[in-house]
Amino acid sequence: MRMVLLYRDLRSVDNRALDYAIDGETEVVTAFCSTPKQWLQHHLSPMQADLIFRRLNSLSDELRNLNIPLLYHECDDFTAANQWLVKKALELGVNEVVLNKNYEVNERQREETLEQALTEVGITLTSIDDKCAVPPGSVVNKQGAYYKVFTPFKKAWLALGYTPQVVPSRASVPVKQPLSDCFTDKVTYSYPRQDSRLWPVDSTAILQRLRAFSAARVDDYQRQRDFPAVDGTSQLSPYLAIGALSVRQCIARLYYDQPSASLSEGAVVWLSELIWREFYQHLVYFEPKLCKGEGYLDWEKHLDWSIGSEVTFEHWCRGDTGYPIVDAAMKQLNQTGWMHNRLRMIVASFLTKDLQIDWRKGERYFMTKLVDGDFASNNGGWQWCASTGCDGQPYFRIFNPITQGEKFDTKGDFIRHWLPELAEVPERYIHKPWAWQGFENLQYVAPIVDHKTQREITLQLYKNAKDRH
């Protein structure tokens, strides 16, 4: 018998570990361990926890139709999960445990410890690269080192001539012995959950979302993706984050719907975004320090974040800063667990460079809220905005929250949706309502900081750090 361990690869289609395990002769079981104390340490959002739970219900049915039981167990952390897995593998007579590799530090340590424990009892562990389309270590420069800048990484990635191969689901031989740990809707799942029903979890609905975006909207992606009031993005990130959808499925669908010799401009830009995801995953693999709260650039340790206050941080968290585009974005995050990518950059820049608050606090807050929380992408995005990361924006590039709003939500449609208290503000003043004569009658706060003043403080803050280094 083979046991396939599931983690952030919650799918039966294009799951490399599952496909490896199914040979038409060997019985196969899958297993998933929820680890609430570990999840709490990793700041897993209640909404993503709910998405995972709902997806497990759906996946359990899919696997059952393939004659593959899904075993489930809840325990505190990775250590306890490994102990249960070894015990269960021995109890079932498992000869080989199979898993898809993870690249974050705790997850890699878990897999190393599990391999040692399994080896001691005579069970083989097989680990497979599945998370990325192109595994870490396969995109390197002429010196054999990983790329530290995205553009040459992307060129090298494309130069590989990668052709996506999506593996369909297959049935296994039925498991003969009765199992008592199969997943049901009555399982213990004690981690806090927040309603994630905005995101369907059955595979058919997920694939329909991918197909609808690729067929109808991707060609306009480069023109529409920066405007939060427009449905211009794929919104597939929650499924990529928990592995309900693979990056290979996304790329394969993209090429399927673009049968001509070259991709459309919009398709090229979306493919580039998928490669950014690969870039950050590879980076976490090569730089474990990123999983330990360290900045990528050495001079980052000299940044003095002490001037930022807890009070202004709480204003930012609530969406109560007095800058409409920032506040609307934070309301969207707090209520839906998702935020438009352009807005993620705007609010991250505001936190670090208008409020001078440590990017780690923003990174952690995002993870506690995001339905699509993915450590590598979240860390990469925050360090890019804070100018402390690999190929981050220059530290002197500081988004102006007023002009960003004027550029990407010109008429204020997005702002009015999330900030109904500004519904009557004229378009001319929607991005700076304090300048409107009727402002004092609004249930809205004045700006908590002056952007121009804060910009000068930040420039000096970063200059001091680089000089000290």
pLDDT at 243 over 90: yes
Q: For residue 323, is pLDDT > 90?
A: yes
37 half-sphere exposure, CB direction, 13 A CA radius: 8
Residues labelled as active-site residues: 273, 276, 305, 341, 359, 382
pLDDT at 15 over 80: yes
For residue 319, the Cα-to-chain-centroid distance in whole angstroms is 22
Q: What's the pLDDT band for 14 if we cut at 50, 70, 90?
A: very high
> Sorting pLDDT into bands at 50, 70 and 90, what band is 163?
confident
User: CB count, 10 Å around CB of 91?
Assistant: 12
Mean per-residue pLDDT for 424-434?
A: 97
Could you report the per-residue pLDDT of 291-321, keeping only the tens digit for each? 999 999 999 999 999 999 999 999 999 999 9
Cα–Cα nearest to 88, from 171, 11, 4, 188: 4
pLDDT for residue 336: 97
User: How far apart are the two ends of the chain, measured CA to CA in Å?
Assistant: 56
Q: Residue with structure tokens 């983690």? A: 7
The H-or-E segment that residue 56 falls in is: helix 46-64
Backbone angles phi, psi at 73, to 5 degrees: -150, 140
- Tell whether the model's pLDDT for residue 434 goes beyond 90: yes
258-272: average pLDDT? 89
The angle subtended at Cα 374 by Cα 372 and Cα 380, nearest 5°, is: 120
pLDDT of residue 184 exceeding 90, the answer is: no
- In 3D, which of 73, 79, 22, 14 has the Cα closest to residue 4? 22
pTM for this prediction: 0.96
**Where residue 95 falls among pLDDT bands split at 50, 70, 90?**
very high
**For residue 394, what pLDDT is reported?**
87
Q: Rounded to whole angstroms, how far apart are CA atoms 64 and 269? A: 38
Residue 88: predicted pLDDT: 97
Q: Are 72 and 30 in contact (CB under 8 A)?
A: no
Which pLDDT score, from 0 to 100, does residue 21 have?
98
Q: Please report which confidence band the pLDDT of residue 259 belongs to, taking 50, 70 and 90 as the band edges.
A: confident
Predicted confidence at residue 90, as pLDDT, reads: 97
